[in-house]
A and B are shown apart, each in its own frame.
Chain A
């Protein structure tokens, strides 16, 4: 109780509150602009957090990411351009509703279920993380090795269309993570004689490059074309809340649970959660044929799932230092900078900070309702801001942000290189997320792999001869078995189709 009071003290500070509100507005704006994702919003915010105290810094990121995920629904509903990938799962439903003149119903559902999903995920985070941390204190290097590997597996195979390219992206990330002196032997590795690279490749400029600069390139290539349609006017979004809650409470609960579970899996985040729970919702629905035609049922379920996943993705991030998605990957970088090194001991030495972060989660999901309402009212004007005007401003902001990461143009160079890399990867269908998670998880994976190998003098049995590590290993094998089964099925399917066509002839 004492700790929670201390946490209240940390949050109930005008600086913290103002920071959270400012970050929320920033997140809403960036999330609402099509093409700029919630991850971009977080990456752009990071340079500013260098200069804040730990609680406002982490709080700003929490608020910004929650708002951006919700705000992605707005252009999706009004223009059929999802602002973030997490909104893409149910874009057809919300847009069709807008076309039917029921934009307020669609957006009302987005606000309501986003907020409720976020709150549910937070509650799970509050209860699951500390108890998981108590358990995780017993972990040693083999356990961490398996968890890291589990996270990377999920990152590569959840939602990747081409596993070989997903793996390639992961290995690119691992190579980036290997640069520098920070390796078991302490020798300069892949530095090519550069003094600056001895410290490794700075994570923040990489993120700014991959997510923001690549988007600048894409805009320049397309000549800064803008979306043409003017969005429709939106009525009172609160009108249908009561009836929606009454009708869709089952979907809400199921979406919350699916979202939370997907979020807790290391390596899978809110976009995966939205797709999975939309599919589950359709599977269980009595009227599956209505999905994609302006039906609110799937929106309720997937909309609550993506925000629930956003909160619960923090569980593996805080307890093991293993990010659930690209956004928590950035968060881990910030936690290290702020001296809040993620891991079970964080809950022992710094519980008040963690509880303060939890309180900010609740706060952020509550202020989402009034701010979301204001954003929907202003959406006509925000969606009219052209990319032509926005991109040059984003470019200069990125340059300053990358420079601020270590106060040298080295950061700007990294940003530029990874802007080009990110653009080329996206163009060639190589997913970005595995690379980002590889950069964050890489050092953890290597450290625990080498430590275990040295401890056991190369005896591979030591990786699985402790009970917990064996348990995680079994889980890991199960996931691989499912992946391989789905491959075999996918490989068989074309043959079946050919066979059925032949039979029809």
Chain B
């Protein structure tokens, strides 16, 4: 998904203005002219400068506002990315309830199917990956991966 320089410029011009407006409203250090707002204000200035430059070159080139690459036009590929994002969101929202091992198996298995790996190979690899991750991170490195509904494994 390629945006034209004009689009990028416009988006960051808006971002720069919003950032400047936000920074103006930050409380000052009493008795000091410089504080939390100084640095973001300078960044906002930078954003505006870059965006103006991009807007200038973008308008001159007259590119379309948004160019969709072939990959994006392919609905299957786009759905693939959406599924990947949903799988990570699935971890964020359900890992605590389901526990790490089932969540990890579901995510890896779904990813394998998405990339057209043979289902038999996929399920074996997914289970192995979940168990290895669990062993390395929970057992060896003591990361508190969520248990969820799964009882604690013997190791």
Partner of A164, one of B53, B137, B144: B53
With A51-B140, A167-B50, A396-B104 already in contact, 16 other A-B pairs whose C-beta atoms are closer than 8 Å: A184-B35, A184-B36, A220-B81, A220-B114, A221-B78, A223-B115, A391-B111, A392-B111, A393-B125, A395-B84, A395-B87, A400-B145, A409-B91, A424-B1, A427-B69, A428-B2
Q: Does the CB pair B39–A217 fall under 8 Å?
A: no
CA distance A53 to B69 in the complex (A): 46
- Contacts of A391 on B, CB cut-off 8 Å? 111, 115
- A407 contacts chain B at the CB level, 8 A cutoff: yes
- B151 contacts chain A at the CB level, 8 A cutoff: no
- A498 contacts chain B at the CB level, 8 A cutoff: no
* Given A178-B39, A220-B114, A412-B88, A392:B108 Cβ within 8 A: yes
A residues whose Cβ falls under 8 Å from a Cβ of B = 47-48, 50-51, 164-165, 167-168, 170-171, 174-175, 178, 183-187, 189-190, 213, 216-217, 219-224, 387-389, 391-393, 395-397, 399-400, 403-404, 407, 409, 412-413, 415-416, 419-420, 424, 427-428, 430, 445-446, 449-450, 453-454, 457-458
Q: Does the CB pair B43–A413 fall under 8 Å?
A: no
- Contacts of B96 on A, CB cut-off 8 Å? 409
Least CB separation from B113: chain A residue: A392
Partner of B50, one of A168, A183, A415: A168
Smallest Cβ distance from B135 to chain A, in angstroms?
Answer: 11
Q: Does the CB pair B3–A428 fall under 8 Å?
A: yes
Q: Does the CB pair B33–A458 fall under 8 Å?
A: yes
Least CB separation from B37: chain A residue: A185
CA distance A413 to B125 in the complex (A): 25
Smallest Cβ distance from B61 to chain A, in angstroms?
Answer: 12
- B72 contacts chain A at the CB level, 8 A cutoff: yes
Q: Does the CB pair A395–B108 fall under 8 Å?
A: yes
Q: Does the CB pair A453–B115 fall under 8 Å?
A: no
- Contacts of A164 on B, CB cut-off 8 Å? 50, 53-54, 57
Q: Does the CB pair B125–A224 fall under 8 Å?
A: no
CA distance A178 to B44 in the complex (A): 12
- Contacts of B104 on A, CB cut-off 8 Å? 396, 399-400
CA distance A405 to B75 in the complex (A): 35
Q: Does the CB pair A217–B115 fall under 8 Å?
A: no
- Contacts of A424 on B, CB cut-off 8 Å? 1
CA distance A187 to B83 in the complex (A): 38
- Contacts of B153 on A, CB cut-off 8 Å? none
- B150 contacts chain A at the CB level, 8 A cutoff: no
- Contacts of B29 on A, CB cut-off 8 Å? 184-185
Q: Which of B91, B104, B121, B140 has the most CB of A within 10 A?
A: B91
